[in-house]
Structure 1
Amino acid sequence: MTTDRTAGLLVFEASWTAMASALAALPAHIVVAHADGRLSCDTATATDLLSLVEGALLDSRAWLSDAAPIFHDAIRRAPNLRWVQSASSGFDAPFLRELADRGVAVSRTTVQSLGIAEFVMARLLSLFQREPERHALQAARDWRALPFREIHGTRWLIVGFGTIGRDIAIRAKAFGAEIVGMRRDPSPDPAADRIAHPERLSDELAGADVVVLALPLSDATRHMIDAAALAATKPDAVLINVGRGGLVDHYALIAALDAGRPAHAILDVAPLEPLPADDPLWSHPRVWMTAHASAYGDGLGNRADRFALDNIRRFLVDGTPLNLVGARD
């Protein structure tokens, strides 16, 4: 693609407000979709602005807005749309699947990995170090030492060894943990002590002290952690899910926790989000639940904007954006 302003990039009103100068510098007509349904463009006079659109920026401002359905509709109505930059690290959202089925290329975002990796370490350290009990002792003015569990020497099975899984592995390895990365690609990885194929899930679960799920949800991965998989875990194992809620059969998980295997579950995702107030996961004594917020570090927004702008330039200049996913992913 040439670098003159022939193609159009569709962006949400809030995204334009936040990144106007950077977006205006791109070699494209910036078509702004307003929350009230209007379209505007400062550099084009076409009566049908959507006909100019070949790419779209579906960032978190668009995803999380009350006007998201209006922006989605504008994307649907762009007849020449070829590519969308998504703010999501996954590809299970129905709208993204819809675009892929239409033949539109979608790029996901992986800049969430840094915050997610820090979240995993913080939650596990808090559990191993018995922080809630320490706070209770302080509140009770009880001068008592609590023994704690060390990360050093533990074995971590990280199921899904992409950007997120590797960033978690790098941090856990710095504490002296042994890392088993699980993925289909058998190539060695410097972030792992060894790589295991998903077919070995049950065998690897039996030796893991910490099991981290950091992979997308698909037909092949739905409920991969079921009753049989949970029965294979060590009694003192910790299950951490920062992937998608559907990776785990939560009815089986509650039953397994009640039976004492695994010892604890740290969940940042749920089978239904928002998780209903009466769901037993909220109150289970062996579950630590958060609201799909593991990526929300204070640097996420800037990293996401930088990545999106760089990837948009790649799309506009030579048609080679990064992190492309397809309908079969």
Structure 2
Amino acid sequence: MSSTIKVAIATPLDPGLRHLLTEVDPSVDLLVDDALLPPQRFPGDHEGDPAFRRTRKQQAVFDSLLSEADIFYGIPDTRPAALAPAVRANPGLRWVQTMAAGGGAQVKAADLTAEELERVLFTTSAGVHGRPLAEFAILGVLAGAKDLPRLQSQQAARHWSDRWAMKQVHEQTVLVVGLGGIGKETARLAKALGATVLGTKRQPGPVDHVDEVHPLSALPELVGRADAIVFTLPGTTATDGLYGAELIAATKPGAVIVNVGRGTVINEPSLIDGLQSGHLASAFLDVVAVEPLPTESPLWAMPQVVIAPHTAALSPHEDRRIAELFATNLRRLIDGKELLNVVDTQHFY
């Protein structure tokens, strides 16, 4: 790179946060034209207003701006289809920061060549969404233990039933499938409630607040021990449909399922069968395999299911936290240090 580091703002970023990037070093030069970016509708809205359209001339100016940059702050318009042409039009591009924690899936979807994946470094926003998603995960664990679906049903029917003994999280075992940033925070919160915490990790080793760490291959045994199972896994070829009929059959009867990773990790027809049969008690889903969830999906009408429209990760501070993460990595880049959250372009996470 030249003495000036040109950073193209490829997705919306509040002007009030841009100083976080420029203050990293005097060499940083932002390439940005707000007329070329869709307005944000809410904090963390990296796609921007879907009604926004560039004129042909505006698109040409936007493409020209991207072609001059050393770094992209965001995948252009957060669309994988826009990433490949932008990479190919800019032989000097060295780094792309994705807005998503699971940005590896977007990079994979761009269908870049091996040479392009070697030339350009991709990093994700992993860690930014850990606490919000962990709180949703714990919501599911607590709601499952306290029979939230039954409470809602009885309230809707104005029915005052006999009393019953609710489950206690401090007496339960919570399995966290995937001990990345989200999983570690989920484990911390579950442990704070007194639960026994099990976890899986690609390379098992001690993890704070986790009583037992196992490889993913141990899932058939682990699901049989867990009162609640929290999935935080990224969407990869290896995780696609991971939690299917066989693992559901092996799951402890009455278990609660929570997914804050990627919807493709769970085989939805098998999940539906497990819920309808009563083998699984309830499910709390921030993500589903196809988003938006099709209106004909049985999940919509199931009283033991709570669906969040992939919104649990959002917080009013998301944009600032991603900008701060980017600034940290930008400093590391200038100092010749290894960047954080680099995408593994073999497994794409």
Band of TM-score, shorter chain: 0.7 to 0.9
1:84-233 counterparts in 2 under 5 A?
84-90=96-102, 91-93=104-106, 97-99=110-112, 101=114, 102-103=116-117, 104-109=120-125, 110-131=127-148, 134=151, 137=155, 140=158, 147-233=165-251
Q: Distance in 2 between matches of 1:309 and 1:291?
A: 30
What is the aligned counterpart of 1:53 among 66, 69, 73? 69
**Root mean square deviation, CA, Å:** 2.9
- Cα deviation for residue 12 of structure 1 reads 2.8
- Cα deviation for residue 134 of structure 1 reads 4.9
Matched, 1:63 2:78: yes
What is the aligned counterpart of 1:37 among 59, 71, 88? 59
- Is the contact between residue 81 and residue 110 of structure 2 (CA under 8 Å) also seen in structure 1? no
Q: Identity percentage over the alignment?
A: 28
| Structure-1-length-normalised TM-score | 0.85
Range that drifts further, 17-26 or 212-221: 17-26
User: Given the superposition, is the C-alpha separation of residues 127 and 210 from structure 1 closer, same or farther in structure 2, using an over 3 Å criterion?
Assistant: closer
Q: Distance in 1 between matches of 2:244 and 2:20?
A: 47
Which amino acid is the alignment partner of residue 82 of structure 1? R
- Is the contact between residue 187 and residue 209 of structure 2 (CA under 8 Å) also seen in structure 1? yes
What is the aligned counterpart of 1:23 among 21, 35, 38? 21
- Cα deviation for residue 221 of structure 1 reads 1.1
| Structure-2-length-normalised TM-score | 0.80
Q: Distance in 2 between matches of 1:271 and 1:182?
A: 22
Post-superposition Cα deviations, 1:206-226, rounded to whole Å, max 9, x if no partner, equal 111111111111111111111
Gapped regions of structure 2 (runs ≥ 5): 38-57
1:315-326 counterparts in 2 under 5 A?
315-318=333-336, 320-326=338-344
Q: Distance in 2 between matches of 1:11 and 1:39?
A: 13
- Cα deviation for residue 191 of structure 1 reads 2.1
Counterpart of 2:46 in structure 1 is: none
- Cα deviation for residue 108 of structure 1 reads 0.9
Q: Distance in 2 between matches of 1:180 and 1:130?
A: 22
Q: Distance in 2 between matches of 1:260 and 1:160?
A: 26
Counterpart of 1:259 in structure 2 is: 277
Number of matched residues? 316
Range that drifts further, 164-173 or 184-193: 184-193
- Cα deviation for residue 204 of structure 1 reads 0.7
User: Given the superposition, is the C-alpha separation of residues 8 and 96 from structure 1 closer, same or farther in structure 2, using an over 3 Å criterion?
Assistant: farther
SS in 1 for 2:19: helix
Counterpart of 1:314 in structure 2 is: 332
Q: Distance in 1 between matches of 2:200 and 2:257?
A: 15
- Is the contact between residue 70 and residue 93 of structure 2 (CA under 8 Å) also seen in structure 1? yes
SS in 2 for 1:303: helix
Range that drifts further, 93-102 or 159-168: 93-102
